[in-house]
Amino acid sequence: MGAESSHFQPLVAILVAGALALFGASGARAAESVPIPRFSDPGARIERPDLPAGRIVKWATGDDYPPFHYIDADGQPAGFAVDLARAVCTELGLACTLQAWRWDALLDTIDKRQADVILAMVRPTPALRTRFLMTERVHQTPARFVARNETPGEVSAPALKGKRVAVVAGSAHEAYLKAFFPAVELKAFEKADEARAAVKDGQADFVFGDAVSLAFWLNGTASSGCCRFVGGPYVDARYFGEGVGALLKPGDEKLRQAIDYALQRLDESGAFAEIYLKHFPIGIW
């Protein structure tokens, strides 16, 4: 069974508009300093397909992976994926339902006709692409370096030669360092929080990892304001994935096209940026 569910009609436009209006002024200022990723091609024009009248689109998401999707204090689905699904339905004028599921049940919801669309942070694999249709990307998590505030910010293979870099053992981030930064001194840890603590405590010069987790750590109390991002983002799909989109059953091409159309419209109108900043106020790019 799913954890929690909610039902929303096109009337949700009022609620979404109100939330964005409340967020708007600070969001506009934040947008000037926080890079917003754009996944739709502004040069491509997607035609809006006709969907069957009266169709209710059932969305499924995860229940425990904030800020992407989680259950809030009121027991309701919340997060980036939830707000984005609602905005898509509003843009298309669709009646929609949304339910949060445990990870072990989530991917089976379409096969069991419990959902039409899965929007969750599920990394696409060749097996998943065979099993599902996928929309345009809605999120991609880059890798980043973090260093103490007093550490020079130059990041390159020559500049990091001999530097101690903390990383999670066995991770894609460790594999990337071995391939492209072979002269660093790797300090591998079992857990990400241990790797982050190593740079804070001076056991490492840098930590390399998931930019979202690092961003929330930098802005939280655990970091004690010790550190900052240095260098640029790393997005090699071979190591860090190509980003995630909504998943649909094979053959539901019109609904996929409709969602891609809505995502492009949300990007053009600035609504995607507002949703993004609400859940990712700290720049990860």
User: Residues 198, 220: one domain?
Assistant: yes
Partners of 62 in beta bridges? 101
Neighbours of 284 (CB within 10 A): 21
For the stretch 100-147, pLDDT in tens is 999 999 999 999 999 999 999 998 888 999 999 999 999 999 999 999
21 within a domain of the structure (yes/no): yes
Identity of residue 8: F
CATH code: domain of residue 161: 3.40.190.10
User: Residues 11, 133: one domain?
Assistant: yes
Q: Which residues contact 267 (CB under 8 A, 6 or more apart)?
A: 38, 39, 40, 42, 273
Identity of residue 202: G
pLDDT at 53: 86
User: Residues 134, 157: one domain?
Assistant: no
For the stretch 56-87, pLDDT in tens is 999 999 999 999 999 999 999 999 999 999 99
DSSP the chain: --SEEEEE-TTHHHHHHHHHHHHHHHHHHHHHHS-----S-TT--PPPPPPPTTPEEEEEEESEETTTEEE-TTS-EESHHHHHHHHHHHHHT-EEEEEEE-HHHHTTTTTTTS-SEE-S-----HHHHHH-EEEEEEE---EEEEEETTS----STTTTTT-EEEEETTSHHHHHHHHH-TTSEEEEESSHHHHHHHHHTTS-SEEEEEHHHHHHHHTSSTTTT-EEEEEEEE--HHHH-S-EEEEE-TT-HHHHHHHHHHHHHHHHHTHHHHHHHHH--S---
Report how far residue 54's alpha carbon sits from residue 49's, in angstroms, rounded to the nearest whole number: 15
User: Residues 188, 231: one domain?
Assistant: yes
User: Residues 131, 269: one domain?
Assistant: yes
Sign of the dihedral defined by the CA atoms of residues 157, 150, 280, 37, in that order: negative
User: Residues 155, 90: one domain?
Assistant: no
For the stretch 203-250, pLDDT in tens is 999 999 999 999 999 999 999 999 999 998 999 999 998 899 999 999
CA 147 vs. chain centroid, Å, equals: 23
285 within a domain of the structure (yes/no): no
User: Residues 250, 209: one domain?
Assistant: no
pLDDT at 10: 32
pLDDT at 14 > cutoff 80: no
Host domain of residue 126: 4-140+242-279
Which one has a higher pLDDT value, 54 or 162? 162
Contact between 75 and 67 (Cβ < 8 Å): no
User: Residues 128, 25: one domain?
Assistant: yes
User: Residues 163, 258: one domain?
Assistant: no
Neighbours of 52 (CB within 10 A): 7
Stretch 172-178: mean pLDDT, rounded? 98
Q: Which residues of 66-99 are buried (b: 16+ CB within 10 A; e: fewer)?
A: eebbbbeeeeebbbbbbbbbbbbbbbbebbbbbb
User: Residues 20, 50: one domain?
Assistant: yes
284 within a domain of the structure (yes/no): no
